[in-house]
Amino acid sequence: MPTTLHTSNLPGLPLLHRGKVRDVYGLPGDRLLMVASDRLSAFDVVLPDPIPGKGEMLCQVSNFWFGKTAHLMPNHLTHDAVADVLPAGTDVALYAKRSVVTKKLKPVPVEAIARGYIIGSGWKDYQKTGAICGIELPKGLRQAERLPEPIFTPSTKAAVGDHDENVSFDAVAARIGGELAEQVRDATLRIYAFASAYAAERGIIIADTKLEFGLDENGVLHVMDEMLTPDSSRFWPADSYAVGISPPSYDKQYVRDYLETLDWNKTAPGPKVPADVIEATRAKYAEALWRLADLKID
């Protein structure tokens, strides 16, 4: 059975950051312990009800993609054993599948997003302006339509409880420097192209994905945090994809669609999620893990 963990507790390890989903602890030797909880965020708000086993699935699918894309660019994994760094007395089984030991990197303060299809906030921006993040797009595109080519549409990296905001490439360049901005854009599109082609062979469309990057002590760019998970991507079954609607998906869009039916202003605190929506969401994450990586977490 999958474990359930809403909030990690590891006495003796310094808690450096508690994000929407991940808790990060400091380790000796410029390393971090990153724990994927079962918390679910939607519209940048952490919901009160966890999705059992979600953290394990997120961690395992991220590790799968880090391995698959290692030839494209370095990543944050050290491959050190999680059991070796947990405090004495910790339930190893609770943390083993949902945690990784990583390099301590300097985060690049931008959400690096690649879009191959027009959906979500990109669709809303296009309807208003005909563009996404300052990139002019052809007229007459319909919801969920495939773009002529994938585009890089960055956003700000919001604090917990705040909303990310789509920004232009020039705004990113002004913040982090033009050369680094180009590296991030090129890496994002390169990884998206590779992953999209792989997923297509498994009958899955990756509509878009969000990546995060960091720099090591030598200024070398690494992909980090999570990678091509149902939390950071839109996965659509190819056999039920259709233009003009929000296609069924293997990600948290199921929860977003439910929340859109509520009288909720998308600010904290988030509403409770019914048990059937939680279970359906867990099943969608599990199917994505199985279809993409042949991994099964019962």
DSSP code for 271: P
Q: pLDDT 10s digit of each residue in the chain, 298 long? A: 778 999 999 999 999 999 989 999 999 999 999 999 999 888 889 999 999 999 999 999 999 999 999 999 999 999 999 999 999 999 999 999 999 999 999 999 999 999 999 998 899 999 999 999 999 999 999 999 999 999 999 998 755 445 578 899 999 999 999 999 999 999 999 999 999 999 999 999 999 999 999 999 999 999 999 999 988 999 999 999 999 998 988 877 778 889 999 999 999 899 999 999 999 889 988 998 899 988 876 5
Q: Look at residue 161 in the predicted model and tell me its pLDDT.
A: 47
Alpha carbons 108 and 94: distance in angstroms, whole number = 30
Token readout for 119 is: 């959906």
CA angle 48, 248, 56 (to 5 degrees): 45
Under CATH, to which class is 15-104 assigned?
alpha beta
Q: Are 108 and 215 in contact (CB under 8 A)?
A: yes
Token readout for 83 is: 């059991």
Alpha carbons 160 and 21: distance in angstroms, whole number = 10
- For helices 169-176 and 178-201, angle between their N-to-C axes, nearest 10 degrees: 130
Q: Look at residue 298 in the predicted model and tell me its pLDDT.
A: 58
Q: Look at residue 79 in the predicted model and tell me its pLDDT.
A: 96
Domain ranges of the chain: 15-104, 107-267+280-290
Q: Are 40 and 252 in contact (CB under 8 A)?
A: yes
Neighbours of 153 (CB within 10 A): 26
Alpha carbons 269 and 259: distance in angstroms, whole number = 13
Alpha carbons 3 and 1: distance in angstroms, whole number = 6
DSSP code for 203: T
DSSP code for 7: S
Q: Look at residue 44 in the predicted model and tell me its pLDDT.
A: 82
- When the candidates are 3.10.180.10, 3.40.50.880, 3.30.470.20, 1.20.120.420, the CATH number that belongs to 107-267+280-290 is 3.30.470.20
